[in-house]
Structure 1
Amino acid sequence: MPKTRIACWNVQKGQHLAAAADYLNAWRPDVWLAQEILPAHQALFELATAMRCYPASPTLNSPNDNAVFIREGGVFDVSAEYLHPSAPWHPPADLAVRSANTDSLSASNSISLISVHLCGFSASTRLQEADWCTTLAAPGQLAIIGGSWNSYPADEGPDSDLWKHLLSEDNPARDPSLYMGRTYAENCVRHTDDRPDRIMTDAGFIDVAQFAHQSLDRLHAISPTVGHQDKDRQGGRWRVDRVYISARLAPAILDVEIGEVQTVGNLSDHLPILITLDTEKTAALMRARPDTESAANAKAP
């Protein structure tokens, strides 16, 4: 069975670059949704991974960060690249791709491949960034959106008792900045910020890790992605990095893995998410029209 591999990984800018490239080469992704990619390191990763880098638009706020890497001659051909220089913080890297090797009679619809790194210090900015992602839920569109969300999945973040502990004067790792950055104010009370996740799922996107956990029995898929290097800095170990996929593409998901701490935990303060799709099923879902697919599903027993 031909397989399409998609990696999502914040490589921690400027750290252990050669080893990170070696790790990616060992897994050999077709797509890498990358964060914290400095402009000076794009060529290094292109050469080391034999993938082409499509960086996000540089801005005064963010001269670096997000990129989408595509394996040339692989399963996808890039059909369009979109830049977002007016984004409120780190602009997303945004590509439209089609299945490679399709003739005009079987031309596929495109998939948007998006790498994001939501604002770490402002919940209101994250809200705006997540709202933008929902534009990719328009009828007929397909998208895979992954990155560092700097917020929590619904009902998984720190509770009020943990926040109190993290803010205690007796806590040597006390960090009011983390508290302010990862919570939002409502009715004079601060709440753990899980709104970007709720926005994405309300828009119809699927958290691939949750899907793999619930539908494929991949218990490890919902492992934390941060906090393995410095638990105090993150207030614990949490699933801050996530990948969302259009619900129509969910039947193509074969596996979701989180990079093991013992193998890759020393290379970055974020662990990679490694997704495996059925290539043929993905191509078929890309070719299918939404109305045709809905009708077929309605007739299915």
Structure 2
Amino acid sequence: MSESEDDVFRVVSWNVEHNGISREGGDERWHLAMDVLTTLKPHVLLRQELTRADTFGRRAVWAEATRLGRLIPFLASATPESANPTGVYTDPSVCEPTEYYEHTTKMWHPICNPVVRVKGASSKLHLASFHLCSFNPAQRKSEAKRLTVLGKPGMASIIGGDCNSYPHTTDETVALPDWSTVADRSHFEQRTIERDGRRVSDTVPDEILAGTHDGYPPLFVDLGHYAGTALGQPEGLAATSSLWRTDQGPKQRIDRIYATPQIALALTQLEVIVTDDVIEASDHPPVVATFSLSKLRRALSAPRAAAA
């Protein structure tokens, strides 16, 4: 491992469609996804759509953890509405788990929220994988409000997942959907809200998490936007979904990773990984946030973080 790799802390968020399992039960896409993740070498993996991974003693979760280098797995609950729970995997060589929380109240998918101590840092880091509701903007708003508990004063957090909604900022490189050109009417109903008497793209969850309001600074920093603007990396603003469908308009940046502001300052790169293998494995690509480990440790040892 090079010196530069020694200073890396890598967080990957990926919604692997139905956990890479076909309707017939074939797992070829899962194996392909694991090959992709092996090359990415995540220290933290935020997963969505771990379909039926809670069955048979959670053996699919343990198989994934082992395949990726004996990571420590955390799995949130499935619900009667959805068999696609969220999960988090952590690298024990860097992250020491200290607690685990699951946010279930009025959630379409419960939030998977382990807490770790990054080795060499004096305070804790909350991690969370989320999957906001695909069909109900009001439900997404409620779920985003729930995520705000991970941005309380003194907390340090990295959260990521499938937002099923759009960024609210005006300097994106991908335009919001032109709904007059979208063939899927149900998608229009699921992804738009009424504002000033018009139907517009739903940006409310991002406004809640990363917007400024009445003089308040943002709770979280959208790392793709931070990379694309502050770090001069326009590739951080790349669209993520859908890699497969064409009836829902152009691809949009709906998969995002956020961090509390002091943690965001340690970011060095944000990438959206689109390769032939990724496109075959899932309709969403992995989003990869790379941090300076030394800067992250300093952020987690500052007085504000120590209050968490």
Where on the TM-score scale, by shorter chain, does this alignment land: which range?
0.7 to 0.9
Contact 1:62–1:91 (CA under 8 A) maintained in structure 2: no
Deviation at 1:288, TM superposition (A): 0.6
| 2:51 matches 1:31 | no
Partner of 1:297: none
- Deviations 1:43-71, CA, capped at 9 Å, x for gaps: 22112112121011232223432000112
Equivalences, count: 278
Structure 2 CA distance for aligned equivalents of residues 36 and 198 of structure 1: 24
Which of 134, 156, 160 is residue 146 of structure 1 equivalent to?
160
Contact 1:59–1:85 (CA under 8 A) maintained in structure 2: no
Which of 73, 82, 103 is residue 53 of structure 1 equivalent to?
73
Whichever of the two has the greater Rg, that structure is: 1
Partner of 1:216: 231
- Deviations 1:125-156, CA, capped at 9 Å, x for gaps: 00000111112221100111100000000156
Deviation at 1:291, TM superposition (A): 9.1
Name which of structure 1's ranges 107-116 and 26-35 shifts more when overlaid on structure 2.
107-116
Gaps of 5+ in 1: 167-173, 294-301
Gaps of 5+ in 2: 21-28, 212-217
What amino acid is aligned across from residue 9 of structure 2 in structure 1? T
Which of 181, 186, 194 is residue 165 of structure 1 equivalent to?
181
Q: Normalized against structure 1, the TM-score is what?
A: 0.86
What amino acid is aligned across from residue 192 of structure 2 in structure 1? T
Deviation at 1:25, TM superposition (A): 0.7
RMSD: 2.1
What amino acid is aligned across from residue 201 of structure 2 in structure 1? T
Q: Secondary structure at the match of 2:87?
A: strand
Residues 1:211 and 1:158: Cα distance change in structure 2 (over 3 Å): closer
Q: Secondary structure at the match of 2:300?
A: helix
| 2:115 matches 1:96 | yes
Partner of 1:82: 101
What amino acid is aligned across from residue 56 of structure 1 in structure 2? A
Percent identical among aligned pairs is: 30
Structure 2 CA distance for aligned equivalents of residues 21 and 159 of structure 1: 32
- Deviations 1:148-167, CA, capped at 9 Å, x for gaps: 0000001568668x21222x
Q: Secondary structure at the match of 2:49?
A: strand
Q: Secondary structure at the match of 1:287?
A: coil
